[in-house]
Amino acid sequence: MQGRNTLLLQQDSLYEGFLRSATLRYKTGETNLLEQATAETQRNEVKNQLRQNQSTITVFRTQLKTLLNSETLPEISENTLSELEFIETPDTTALAANPSLAFMRQQIEVAKSEKKVEAAKFAPDFLIGYFNQTLIDVPNTETGAIATSKDRFTGIQVGVSIPLWFVPHQGRVKAAEFNRQAAQSNYQYYQTTLHGQLQQAAQQYAKSKSSLEYYRSSALPNAELILKQSQIAFRGGEIGYAEYLLGVRNAISIKEGYLQTLSDYNQSIIYIEFLSGTK
Protein backbone atom coordinates (compact mmCIF):
# COMPACT_ATOMS: atom_id res chain seq x y z
CA MET A 1 0.00 0.00 0.00
CA GLN A 2 2.84 2.39 0.77
CA GLY A 3 4.43 1.64 -2.60
CA ARG A 4 1.14 2.34 -4.34
CA ASN A 5 0.84 5.57 -2.36
CA THR A 6 4.24 6.69 -3.64
CA LEU A 7 3.23 5.88 -7.21
CA LEU A 8 -0.06 7.76 -6.81
CA LEU A 9 1.82 10.80 -5.54
CA GLN A 10 3.97 10.66 -8.66
CA GLN A 11 0.85 10.48 -10.83
CA ASP A 12 -0.66 13.39 -8.91
CA SER A 13 2.42 15.47 -9.66
CA LEU A 14 2.29 14.55 -13.35
CA TYR A 15 -1.39 15.36 -13.74
CA GLU A 16 -1.03 18.56 -11.73
CA GLY A 17 1.56 19.73 -14.25
CA PHE A 18 -0.66 18.56 -17.09
CA LEU A 19 -3.59 20.55 -15.70
CA ARG A 20 -1.52 23.73 -15.35
CA SER A 21 -0.27 23.35 -18.89
CA ALA A 22 -3.74 22.58 -20.28
CA THR A 23 -5.26 25.55 -18.43
CA LEU A 24 -2.62 27.89 -19.81
CA ARG A 25 -3.03 26.55 -23.35
CA TYR A 26 -6.79 26.98 -23.10
CA LYS A 27 -6.49 30.59 -21.91
CA THR A 28 -4.14 31.43 -24.76
CA GLY A 29 -6.46 29.78 -27.25
CA GLU A 30 -4.03 27.05 -28.24
CA THR A 31 -6.48 24.29 -27.41
CA ASN A 32 -10.13 23.70 -26.60
CA LEU A 33 -11.98 23.13 -23.32
CA LEU A 34 -11.87 19.35 -23.77
CA GLU A 35 -8.17 19.18 -23.01
CA GLN A 36 -8.53 21.22 -19.82
CA ALA A 37 -11.54 19.15 -18.69
CA THR A 38 -9.65 15.94 -19.38
CA ALA A 39 -6.61 17.15 -17.41
CA GLU A 40 -8.78 18.19 -14.46
CA THR A 41 -10.63 14.86 -14.50
CA GLN A 42 -7.38 12.90 -14.47
CA ARG A 43 -6.00 15.00 -11.61
CA ASN A 44 -9.17 14.56 -9.54
CA GLU A 45 -9.26 10.82 -10.21
CA VAL A 46 -5.73 10.39 -8.89
CA LYS A 47 -6.52 12.47 -5.80
CA ASN A 48 -9.54 10.26 -5.15
CA GLN A 49 -7.38 7.15 -5.46
CA LEU A 50 -4.92 8.71 -3.01
CA ARG A 51 -7.67 9.27 -0.46
CA GLN A 52 -8.93 5.70 -0.89
CA ASN A 53 -5.42 4.31 -0.52
CA GLN A 54 -4.84 6.32 2.66
CA SER A 55 -8.14 5.02 4.05
CA THR A 56 -7.12 1.45 3.25
CA ILE A 57 -3.81 1.98 5.04
CA THR A 58 -5.71 3.29 8.08
CA VAL A 59 -7.98 0.22 8.04
CA PHE A 60 -5.01 -2.12 7.89
CA ARG A 61 -3.32 -0.32 10.76
CA THR A 62 -6.49 -0.66 12.84
CA GLN A 63 -6.69 -4.37 12.05
CA LEU A 64 -3.05 -4.78 13.07
CA LYS A 65 -3.76 -3.08 16.40
CA THR A 66 -6.61 -5.53 16.96
CA LEU A 67 -4.42 -8.53 16.16
CA LEU A 68 -1.69 -7.25 18.48
CA ASN A 69 -4.24 -6.28 21.14
CA SER A 70 -2.47 -2.96 21.49
CA GLU A 71 -3.41 0.70 21.24
CA THR A 72 -0.08 1.52 19.63
CA LEU A 73 1.82 -0.04 16.76
CA PRO A 74 5.51 -0.88 16.51
CA GLU A 75 7.53 1.31 14.20
CA ILE A 76 6.49 0.60 10.62
CA SER A 77 8.66 1.76 7.75
CA GLU A 78 7.01 4.33 5.52
CA ASN A 79 9.45 3.62 2.70
CA THR A 80 8.46 2.17 -0.64
CA LEU A 81 8.08 -1.59 -0.87
CA SER A 82 11.50 -3.26 -1.08
CA GLU A 83 12.71 -6.71 -2.04
CA LEU A 84 13.11 -9.23 0.79
CA GLU A 85 16.39 -11.04 1.23
CA PHE A 86 16.24 -14.72 0.36
CA ILE A 87 19.09 -17.21 0.01
CA GLU A 88 17.56 -20.29 -1.57
CA THR A 89 14.39 -22.34 -1.71
CA PRO A 90 14.50 -25.06 0.98
CA ASP A 91 13.89 -28.69 0.04
CA THR A 92 11.12 -30.84 1.49
CA THR A 93 13.32 -31.99 4.39
CA ALA A 94 13.01 -28.47 5.79
CA LEU A 95 9.34 -29.17 6.50
CA ALA A 96 10.41 -31.02 9.65
CA ALA A 97 10.59 -27.62 11.36
CA ASN A 98 7.00 -26.74 10.47
CA PRO A 99 5.18 -26.15 13.81
CA SER A 100 1.90 -27.72 12.68
CA LEU A 101 3.65 -30.83 11.40
CA ALA A 102 5.64 -31.10 14.65
CA PHE A 103 2.38 -30.88 16.61
CA MET A 104 0.88 -33.71 14.57
CA ARG A 105 3.98 -35.85 15.20
CA GLN A 106 3.47 -35.22 18.89
CA GLN A 107 -0.14 -36.38 18.58
CA ILE A 108 1.11 -39.72 17.24
CA GLU A 109 3.34 -40.18 20.28
CA VAL A 110 0.44 -39.28 22.57
CA ALA A 111 -1.76 -41.88 20.87
CA LYS A 112 0.99 -44.49 21.25
CA SER A 113 1.30 -43.72 24.96
CA GLU A 114 -2.46 -43.97 25.44
CA LYS A 115 -2.47 -47.40 23.80
CA LYS A 116 0.32 -48.59 26.11
CA VAL A 117 -1.67 -47.41 29.13
CA GLU A 118 -4.78 -49.30 28.00
CA ALA A 119 -2.76 -52.42 27.19
CA ALA A 120 -1.16 -52.30 30.63
CA LYS A 121 -4.62 -52.36 32.24
CA PHE A 122 -5.37 -55.57 30.32
CA ALA A 123 -2.29 -57.40 31.66
CA PRO A 124 -2.49 -59.48 34.92
CA ASP A 125 -1.10 -58.01 38.14
CA PHE A 126 1.43 -60.09 40.10
CA LEU A 127 1.29 -59.61 43.87
CA ILE A 128 3.98 -60.56 46.37
CA GLY A 129 4.09 -59.75 50.06
CA TYR A 130 6.24 -60.45 53.11
CA PHE A 131 5.33 -60.25 56.79
CA ASN A 132 7.21 -60.64 60.04
CA GLN A 133 5.24 -60.31 63.30
CA THR A 134 4.72 -61.53 66.89
CA LEU A 135 1.67 -63.38 68.23
CA ILE A 136 1.95 -62.91 72.00
CA ASP A 137 0.01 -65.39 74.20
CA VAL A 138 -0.98 -67.49 71.22
CA PRO A 139 -0.31 -71.21 71.80
CA ASN A 140 1.85 -73.12 69.35
CA THR A 141 -0.34 -75.83 67.83
CA GLU A 142 2.57 -78.25 67.59
CA THR A 143 4.33 -77.83 70.96
CA GLY A 144 1.61 -76.22 73.05
CA ALA A 145 4.02 -73.49 74.20
CA ILE A 146 2.73 -69.95 74.64
CA ALA A 147 4.32 -67.42 72.27
CA THR A 148 6.16 -64.49 73.80
CA SER A 149 7.51 -61.24 72.37
CA LYS A 150 10.70 -63.10 71.45
CA ASP A 151 8.85 -65.44 69.16
CA ARG A 152 8.39 -64.04 65.61
CA PHE A 153 6.42 -65.48 62.76
CA THR A 154 7.47 -64.87 59.15
CA GLY A 155 5.56 -65.51 55.95
CA ILE A 156 5.38 -64.74 52.22
CA GLN A 157 2.27 -64.05 50.14
CA VAL A 158 2.19 -64.53 46.36
CA GLY A 159 -0.78 -63.95 44.08
CA VAL A 160 -1.97 -63.11 40.57
CA SER A 161 -4.79 -60.64 39.75
CA ILE A 162 -6.49 -61.34 36.40
CA PRO A 163 -9.24 -59.12 34.95
CA LEU A 164 -12.49 -61.04 34.79
CA TRP A 165 -14.01 -58.94 32.01
CA PHE A 166 -11.68 -59.04 28.99
CA VAL A 167 -14.05 -57.53 26.42
CA PRO A 168 -14.14 -53.92 27.79
CA HIS A 169 -10.34 -53.84 28.14
CA GLN A 170 -9.88 -55.29 24.68
CA GLY A 171 -12.27 -52.70 23.20
CA ARG A 172 -10.37 -49.83 24.80
CA VAL A 173 -7.07 -51.15 23.44
CA LYS A 174 -8.54 -51.38 19.94
CA ALA A 175 -9.94 -47.86 20.22
CA ALA A 176 -6.53 -46.56 21.28
CA GLU A 177 -4.96 -48.31 18.27
CA PHE A 178 -7.51 -46.74 15.93
CA ASN A 179 -6.66 -43.34 17.41
CA ARG A 180 -2.98 -43.99 16.76
CA GLN A 181 -3.66 -45.00 13.17
CA ALA A 182 -5.83 -41.93 12.65
CA ALA A 183 -3.09 -39.67 14.03
CA GLN A 184 -0.55 -41.37 11.75
CA SER A 185 -2.81 -40.96 8.70
CA ASN A 186 -3.46 -37.30 9.51
CA TYR A 187 0.25 -36.70 9.84
CA GLN A 188 1.07 -38.36 6.51
CA TYR A 189 -1.74 -36.52 4.73
CA TYR A 190 -0.67 -33.15 6.13
CA GLN A 191 2.96 -33.87 5.30
CA THR A 192 2.03 -34.67 1.69
CA THR A 193 -0.07 -31.51 1.54
CA LEU A 194 2.82 -29.42 2.82
CA HIS A 195 5.16 -30.95 0.24
CA GLY A 196 2.76 -29.92 -2.52
CA GLN A 197 2.33 -26.43 -1.10
CA LEU A 198 6.09 -25.98 -0.84
CA GLN A 199 6.57 -27.03 -4.47
CA GLN A 200 3.86 -24.59 -5.59
CA ALA A 201 5.40 -21.82 -3.49
CA ALA A 202 8.82 -22.52 -5.02
CA GLN A 203 7.32 -22.33 -8.51
CA GLN A 204 5.60 -19.05 -7.67
CA TYR A 205 8.87 -17.71 -6.27
CA ALA A 206 10.76 -18.64 -9.47
CA LYS A 207 8.00 -17.08 -11.60
CA SER A 208 7.96 -13.83 -9.61
CA LYS A 209 11.75 -13.64 -9.54
CA SER A 210 11.97 -13.98 -13.32
CA SER A 211 9.28 -11.32 -13.80
CA LEU A 212 11.00 -9.03 -11.32
CA GLU A 213 14.26 -9.29 -13.24
CA TYR A 214 12.41 -8.35 -16.45
CA TYR A 215 10.89 -5.26 -14.87
CA ARG A 216 14.20 -4.08 -13.44
CA SER A 217 16.29 -4.74 -16.52
CA SER A 218 13.86 -3.58 -19.21
CA ALA A 219 10.34 -2.49 -18.30
CA LEU A 220 11.09 0.11 -15.60
CA PRO A 221 13.85 1.90 -17.58
CA ASN A 222 11.49 2.03 -20.58
CA ALA A 223 8.68 3.39 -18.39
CA GLU A 224 10.93 6.22 -17.19
CA LEU A 225 11.94 6.92 -20.77
CA ILE A 226 8.30 7.01 -21.90
CA LEU A 227 7.42 9.46 -19.13
CA LYS A 228 10.35 11.73 -19.87
CA GLN A 229 9.88 11.79 -23.63
CA SER A 230 6.11 12.24 -23.35
CA GLN A 231 6.57 15.30 -21.14
CA ILE A 232 9.21 16.80 -23.43
CA ALA A 233 7.13 16.19 -26.57
CA PHE A 234 3.94 17.57 -25.01
CA ARG A 235 5.62 20.71 -23.73
CA GLY A 236 7.23 21.20 -27.13
CA GLY A 237 3.94 20.83 -28.93
CA GLU A 238 5.08 17.72 -30.80
CA ILE A 239 2.16 15.62 -29.49
CA GLY A 240 -1.35 16.36 -28.31
CA TYR A 241 -2.86 15.66 -24.92
CA ALA A 242 -4.30 12.31 -26.08
CA GLU A 243 -0.86 10.98 -27.01
CA TYR A 244 0.57 12.41 -23.82
CA LEU A 245 -2.03 10.70 -21.65
CA LEU A 246 -1.50 7.42 -23.50
CA GLY A 247 2.24 7.56 -22.79
CA VAL A 248 1.71 8.43 -19.11
CA ARG A 249 -0.83 5.66 -18.62
CA ASN A 250 1.42 3.09 -20.27
CA ALA A 251 4.33 4.09 -18.05
CA ILE A 252 2.19 4.06 -14.91
CA SER A 253 0.73 0.68 -15.87
CA ILE A 254 4.26 -0.73 -16.09
CA LYS A 255 5.12 0.64 -12.67
CA GLU A 256 1.94 -0.79 -11.17
CA GLY A 257 2.83 -4.16 -12.69
CA TYR A 258 6.26 -3.93 -11.09
CA LEU A 259 4.78 -3.19 -7.66
CA GLN A 260 2.38 -6.14 -7.95
CA THR A 261 5.20 -8.44 -9.06
CA LEU A 262 7.39 -7.27 -6.18
CA SER A 263 4.54 -7.90 -3.75
CA ASP A 264 3.99 -11.40 -5.19
CA TYR A 265 7.73 -12.08 -4.94
CA ASN A 266 7.87 -11.05 -1.27
CA GLN A 267 4.70 -12.98 -0.45
CA SER A 268 6.13 -16.15 -2.01
CA ILE A 269 9.23 -15.81 0.20
CA ILE A 270 7.11 -15.26 3.31
CA TYR A 271 4.98 -18.30 2.45
CA ILE A 272 8.03 -20.50 1.87
CA GLU A 273 9.49 -19.43 5.21
CA PHE A 274 6.12 -20.14 6.87
CA LEU A 275 5.90 -23.65 5.39
CA SER A 276 9.48 -24.51 6.29
CA GLY A 277 9.12 -23.09 9.79
CA THR A 278 12.23 -20.95 9.44
CA LYS A 279 10.42 -17.76 10.55
Whole-number pLDDT of residue 212: 92
pTM, entire model: 0.67
How are beta strands 153-161 and 125-133 bridged, if at all? antiparallel
Whole-number pLDDT of residue 76: 61
Domain spans, the chain:
1-80, 92-123+165-279, 125-161
List, for residues 230-254, the tens digit of each pLDDT value. Answer: 888 888 888 888 888 888 889 999 9
- Report the percent of the chain where pLDDT is more than 70: 76
Mean pLDDT of 164-189: 80
223 pLDDT above the threshold of 90 = yes
List, for residues 88-138, the tens digit of each pLDDT value. Answer: 666 666 677 788 888 888 888 888 888 887 777 666 666 677 666 666 666
Highest mean pLDDT among 70-79, 154-163, 186-195: 186-195
